[in-house]
Structure 1
Amino acid sequence: MITAYCSNCQSIELVDLTKVEALRDDIVWIDMVEPTREEEIYVEKALGIEVPTRDDLKDIEPSARLYTEDDAVFMTASLVWKAETDAPVLTDVAFILAGKRLITIRYAQPKSFALFIAALHRVPAHWRTGASLLAKLFETIIDRTAEILELSVARIDVLSTHVFGDRAKKIRKPANYLEEKLRDIAAHQRLVSKVRDSLASMSRLMTFFYNVPAVQQDHGTKELCRTVSRDIQSLSEHSSYIAGNITFLLDASLGLINIEQNSIIKIFSIASVVFLPPTLVASIYGMNFESMPELRWAEGYPYSLGLMLISAIIPFFFFRWKGWL
């Protein structure tokens, strides 16, 4: 699907691809979402540029993601998609500056694009050029990334309360409660990792974009790029801090699981020691030697049971006194 946006924020969906006509002069942004080969050919003929394909976007070589060709600037960044789900992914998006027009090519629906389109009418008229719109779009992408990190921090805080707070209240939880929390920790780590990869991609892109002539010639766009670059740096440091908190939470959860396992082993160990003296008594009286004094004693059976009980009680209270139970 191809959607064109004019300088007055009017959107036009290009559906007639049977003939290539000159695009309207007021079209400043062409948004291509999961374009077909016919749609790619249409844009290539209309703008006189070669549109990157889906396979081209997956290339990780810097020379294939950031380059200039025939006065057109080609940039590719990795953005976080499906951040609210349990399986966030990175999706590659191409940004092309061809003259005064911006062309975006994407095969996903990152929320930052929907936010930018919804706020497009608030962009000042003198900012509605390809380079200026792209700078504003980058600002929206970074704002959305900051929102994802804030959401992740809030969820990690709740998770930390579940791991530590419930234990302080001595609330009984299922046996595999902490194991389930480990899965939640892994999900948060995956999201923050995707965000960090996206920020690294955007940082490299902004360095390249800042030196584009169209940006250097526009003071407002140039200053906005500086602001976005500083935000990327701040968010990168913040994401590292969050990753450290997740690592601490992971280590603490594993430590709590280890403590619980040690407690279980301790109980079994103490139980085996407690029942060791009664077992010894039973073993002695289980030997059918004819010369044993208690063998023909009428009170021998209750005597041996009492002796086994006493030999179990004494170690039990000794362990209680020592604080091992």
Structure 2
Amino acid sequence: MLYAYATRDGRLFRLAAGDDLAQAVWIDLIQPDDDEVSALRGLGVDVPSLADMEEIEISNRLYREGGVDYMTAVLPGERGDGTRAAMPVSFILSPSRLVTVRHHAPRPFLTFPDHAERSALGCATADRLFLSLIEEIISRLADILEGSGRVLDETSAGVFGSGAAARDARPRRGVAERLQQALAVVGREAELMAHVRLGLLTIERILAFHLAVVADRNGSARLRPVIKGYLRDVQALEVHADFLSSRVSLTVDTTLGMINLEQNNTARILSVIAALFLPPTLIASIYGMNFAHMPELDTRWGYPATLGFMLATSVAIWLFLRWKNWL
């Protein structure tokens, strides 16, 4: 799928199918087919395949060829089946045109065309369009981190609330299920933050590469302060992502600790029940033996006395456990 955009009165508008791609300032390729790759090759742009984009070597993700910069980032987004994933997105920047190649749908690519003119740099040139799109991506990653922080706040409060409920005998039912759900939520947020952290790292590399080569473009050297500002923003978000990752570790450890405490409470109840029935079981086992000489078996009071003795031992065990605060 191919979307081509040109500028008019400082705004982006989509070209119709069949229009000349040479007038486009931004061409967005989604899972390009052979015809679209051939059309871009006619414009002097070599479109990388998904296998090329997934290469982890820096030399394959950041390079210049024939005056065109090829830069690849790994960004979170949705696949065609609705599942979330972090996949590579290539930015191919020439003096006159920006080409993006992707195989999933990061949200900034869907929202940016509608308000590109409202970005700080606008979309008049390919360099400004590229940096404006990078700004949109950084803002989106910041929003994801902010949302993850709120989820962690709510989950942590729920975990500590479940711990307080576990100490009360009445609301104990369902505590383990809530803790398991909290653990699943934290796991999903940890995976999402890992995707964001990888996206920030690759965006930082792209900006550092672009900062080094932007001086070679006519009229683009003045963008260096803007690029440095975006670099500082990315580095600040990386620190925030690391902080949230530490909170994830703390929340996971707390949740697992609460689950262990709840399991210990259950095991303690079972141990108390076993302790209460242990003396009566011992007495019943003694009088269940088939020996010929057992004097108590021939007495009238033997049966009620044995029952009373069994009850007395159970009560004594229960009082002892209460005295030790084990109940």
Note whether the superposition's TM-score is higher than 0.5. yes
Q: Any conservation in 1 of the 2:123–2:129 contact (CA below 8 Å)? A: yes
Structure 1 match to 2:149:
153
Q: 1:34 and 1:287, CA in 2 relative to 1: closer, same or farther beyond 3 A?
A: closer
Residue number in structure 2 paired with 1:3: 3
Question: Residues 215 and 261 from structure 1, CA distance in 2 versus in 1: closer, same or farther, beyond 3 angstroms?
Answer: farther
Root mean square deviation, CA, Å:
2.4
1:134 maps to: 130
Q: Where in structure 2 are there 5+ consecutive unaligned residues?
A: none
State the SS of the aligned residue for 2:32.
Answer: coil
1:299 and 1:256 map into 2 onto residues whose CA distance is 51
Shift of 1:274: 2.1
- Residues 260 and 172 of structure 1: CA distance in aligned 2, closer, same or farther (over 3 Å): closer
What is the match of residue 301 of structure 2? 299
Q: 2:265 aligns with which of 263, 266, 281?
A: 263
Structure 1 residues 284, 55: CA separation in 2 closer, same or farther (over 3 Å shift)?
A: closer
Aligned length: 318
Q: Aligned pair 1:23/2:19, yes or no?
A: no
Give me the whole-angstrom Cα distance separating, in 2, the residues matched to 1:29 and 1:287: 93
Q: Equivalent residue for 2:203?
A: 202
| Deviation readout 1:127-164 (Å, 9 max, x if unpaired) | 51111111111111000000000111111111112211
Unaligned runs of 5+ in 1: none
**Matches of 1:167 and 1:235, distance apart in 2:** 32
Q: By how many angstroms is 1:251 displaced?
A: 0.9
> 1:155, 1:53 → 2: CA distance?
37
Q: Which residue of 2 aligns with 1:162?
A: 158
- Give the TM-score taking structure 2 as reference length: 0.89
The correspondence for 1:121, drawn from 117, 123, 128, is 117
Q: Deviations over 1:184-229 (max 9, x none)?
A: 2211111111111111111111110111235775355222211111
Contact 2:12 2:116 in 1 (8 A): no
Distance 2:100 2:127 in 1: 12
Relative to the length of structure 1, the TM-score reads: 0.89
> More deviation in 186-195 or 283-292?
283-292
Partners of 1:245 and 1:132 lie apart in 2 by 37
User: How many angstroms apart in 2 are the aligned matches of 1:269 and 1:182?
Assistant: 28
2:196 partner letter: V
Distance 1:223 1:51 in 2: 30
Match of 1:106 in 2: 102
- AA partner of residue 98 (structure 2): L
Structure 1 CA distance for aligned equivalents of residues 322 and 293 of structure 2 = 39
Contact 2:4 2:21 in 1 (8 A): no
Whole-angstrom distance in 2 between the partners of 1:320 and 1:44: 83
